[in-house]
Amino acid sequence: MARRYDPGRRQRIIDAAIRVVGAKGIAGLSHRSVAAEADVPLGSTTYHFKTLDDLMVAALRQTNEGFAEVLAARGTLEDARADLAAELAGLMGEWMAGDRTGVELEYELYLAALRRPALRPVAAEWIDSLVEPLTRRTDPVTARALVALLDGICLQVLLTGTSYDEGYAREVLDRVLRCGGRTGDGPAG
């Protein structure tokens, strides 16, 4: 039997994996559950992704793009005159104001790296993709502290079910920036 040419199949499998994790969590992810969700033969999932870790890496990379898109769309991190703490607090507010399920899914895949070493490089890529633009506005240590703080605030909101408080986020981000020797108005001279 000839193979049917299906150039979108790999992407459909990744999308299905993201939906499975969103609905059932990491524990519900299997080649079989993804194949059923994508409506493809089981062999297609193992053809494109030999292991579940391979599939999770692809899913994590794709979900990481969501926050990166929000970051790039704002573009104001490039403006040295903009208040960096306010911009970051607004950015996080924009991200948290969207579909909470999507944010939860991103963190579930991100935190899966604790138990799945194959995911650690992708989690590190995500952190670096946030640190890099921040180092244009502050030093590398402060940039990493800001990313850690953003992660912490986001996790607290997700874990407690509370609302995101942009004013609080702005205040604590500003404190980190001031302690880092920066005002948020660009690198110190």
- Tokens describing residue 95: 């991200």
CA–CA gap between residue 158 and residue 81 (Å, rounded):
32
Q: Tens of pLDDT along 130-172?
A: 898 889 889 999 999 999 999 999 999 999 989 999 999 999 9
Instruction: Return the minimum-mean-pLDDT range out of 51-60, 65-74, 112-121, 173-182.
Output: 65-74
Domains of the chain by residue range: 1-50, 63-179
pLDDT value at residue 5: 72
Q: Tens of pLDDT along 51-108?
A: 999 999 998 888 887 666 777 777 767 778 889 999 999 988 988 887 777 788 888 8
- Tokens describing residue 110: 């991100």
pLDDT value at residue 31: 96
Write the DSSP string, 120-165. HHHHHHHHHHHHHHHTTTS-HHHHHHHHHHHHHHHHHHHHHTPPP-
Query: Model's pTM, two decimal places?
Result: 0.80
- Three-state SS string across 5-39, please? CCCCHHHHHHHHHHHHHHHHCHHHCCHHHHHHHHC
Let me know if domain 1-50 sits in CATH 3.40.50.720: no
Q: Are 119 and 53 in contact (CB under 8 A)?
A: yes
Q: Which CATH code fits 63-179?
A: 1.10.357.10
The closest alpha carbon to 134, from 62, 66, 189, 182, belongs to 182
